[in-house]
Amino acid sequence: MNDSIFIAAGLARECEGLRLKPYICPAGYWTIGYGNRCLANGSAVTRLTPAITAVQAEALLMLTLAGLRYKLRQLVHVALTPNKEGALLDWQFNLGTSAIAGSTLLRLLNSGQDLAAGEQLLLWNHAHKDGHLITLPGLTARRHAEWLIYTGATSGHVPAATPSPSIPPTTTADQLNRNELARVKANV
């Protein structure tokens, strides 16, 4: 399906992976499911948040993306293809609406500078850790995947991550993201 929510959900599934118990993401936030920081009722995820099921995680992801798309459409004043909107939705899901609202990307997009706006995605690959701004390889890979979809270099389909018994339990999300980026580059 070529709907922006399904495109963003595919990216989020692939980049975030599925965790049914609360965990701290690389940026230091309590998270659950496919990278949600809040539950369906709006409450923040904490270490005390009960585990959820895969079905609940999927429903939470889709509910979150639908709400974000509504907010994104209020901010964007130009027409977007499903690929562009899907890439921006994943970016918004990862960073939050407030980051997008004040971004150079949004200013460029709304002024008709479509390509320059898309290139801005690649700059959002840092996180604050211990008072320092650091580059996270997983964010670099994610931003590149978003950019490929935004530009139409891929069909907009990023397959959902599926648990694999061949992946050692010590494999990090950053390692998986690097592997996915290599796969995406190979298919371009």
- Catalytic residues, which ones? 16, 25
Write the CA distances from 147 to 14, 19, 86, 117, 179, integer angstroms.
Answer: 15, 25, 11, 10, 17
Write the CA distances from 91 to 15, 61, 109, 171, integer angstroms.
Answer: 11, 14, 14, 24
Angle of helix 4-16 relative to helix 82-95, nearest 10 degrees? 40
DSSP notation for 30-64:
EEEETTBSB-TTSPBP-TTSPP--HHHHHHHHHHH
